[in-house]
Structure 1
Amino acid sequence: MKKTFSIILFSFLFISCQQTITPADIAKLNGYWEIEKVVFDKGADKVYGMNENFDFFKINGTRGTRTKVMAQLDGTFLTTDTFENVSVRFTDKGTFLDYKTDYAKWSEELISISDEKFVVKNEQNKEYYYKKARPVNLLGDGKETK
């Protein structure tokens, strides 16, 4: 009986600690993000050091785009015309980012979000931990980066 009570209490605490994501939180996705680490479904993880590729989100309300961009030595980002359409979907099971291209559709669950970090989980139960990208000016030319 004690073990059952402990399991129920632990489950309740775990569920109550999950972040409730509101429509106002979605605006925090806007900007440049880099993958910090990936946690696989078996618990192993892969930590990323310095990234040269970043994700740029531009979302207005519940619709927007995600574009892969590449960091440049002067602190700017090089972009292409390739992007993914993103729709934000709120359900009783969570908040989801639905992606669509001409070739594929997929979803990721938005687990948590703050001004500096966010976490998503894909359909293979991989969790992607992102951190806000900061421009780095390696040229040292004194110019401010955007």
Structure 2
Amino acid sequence: MKQLTIIAFLFFLCSCGHSVTKEDLTFLDGYWEIKKVNFPNGDTKTYEMNSTVDYIEITGSKGYRKKVQPLADGSFITSDDAEYFSITDREGIFIMTYESTMDTWEEEIISISETALALRNEDQITYIYERYQPIILE
């Protein structure tokens, strides 16, 4: 039953008619926490807590993405490792194309808002993110 609900939600999300606009791409900047992965066979993996979050920064049609580890004081541990990408508009569908020395891959931006992001890769796996909200311990 849970899988049927998720499939119905994805169908609604894809058929609701809202497409990503160029102006929406400004929402990419910032920290994103993965919440769910939906596989093409209907399986879903949910993430309750994460030790890392994704930081995305874009300038124009180029950007990078890196994993960072949040700390209790609100700061982050990060490395110099980053995945660089370019964003292209293919007939109203925005694609993030990543290129490294080892591989090239793409993700389609399915939906984006100030608080939510959905990306689908070439294997039709959909990644659902929420804007990261730090938990600061005093």
Same fold (TM over 0.5): yes
| Structure 1 residue 124 corresponds to structure 2 residue 90 | no
CA RMSD, 1 decimal: 1.7
Helix, strand or coil: the match of 1:81? Answer: coil
Task: Look up the match of 1:85.
Answer: 84
Specify whether residues 14 and 76 from structure 1 end up closer, same or farther in structure 2 by C-alpha distance, changes over 3 A only. Answer: closer
TM-aligned CA deviation for residue 102 of structure 1 = 2.3
Task: Look up the match of 1:21.
Answer: 20
Task: Look up the match of 1:134.
Answer: 133
TM-aligned CA deviation for residue 72 of structure 1 = 1.1
Aligned-partner Cα distance in 1 for 2:35–2:106: 20
Aligned-partner Cα distance in 2 for 1:136–1:87: 31
Is the 8 Å Cα contact of residues 26 and 61 (structure 1) preserved in structure 2?
Answer: no
Please give the TM-score of this superposition, normalised by the length of structure 1: 0.81
Task: Look up the match of 2:113.
Answer: 114
Structure 1: 5+ residue runs without aligned partners? 1-12, 141-146
TM-aligned CA deviation for residue 14 of structure 1 = 8.0
Aligned-partner Cα distance in 2 for 1:14–1:68: 27
Alignment of 1:91-106 (within 5 A): 91-92=90-91, 94-106=93-105
Specify whether residues 80 and 15 from structure 1 end up closer, same or farther in structure 2 by C-alpha distance, changes over 3 A only. Answer: closer
Helix, strand or coil: the match of 2:82? Answer: strand
Is the 8 Å Cα contact of residues 119 and 130 (structure 1) preserved in structure 2?
Answer: yes
Query: How many equivalent pairs are there?
Result: 127
Is the 8 Å Cα contact of residues 88 and 97 (structure 1) preserved in structure 2?
Answer: yes
Specify whether residues 106 and 75 from structure 1 end up closer, same or farther in structure 2 by C-alpha distance, changes over 3 A only. Answer: same
Per-residue CA deviations over 1:95-122 (Å, capped at 9, x if unaligned) read 1111122221100111000000010111
> Residue type matched to 1:110 in 2?
I
Task: Look up the match of 2:50.
Answer: 51
Aligned-partner Cα distance in 2 for 1:79–1:126: 26
Please give the TM-score of this superposition, normalised by the length of structure 2: 0.85
Runs (4+) off by over 6 Å: none
Is the 8 Å Cα contact of residues 39 and 128 (structure 1) preserved in structure 2?
Answer: yes
Per-residue CA deviations over 1:79-110 (Å, capped at 9, x if unaligned) read 10000111111112621111122221100111
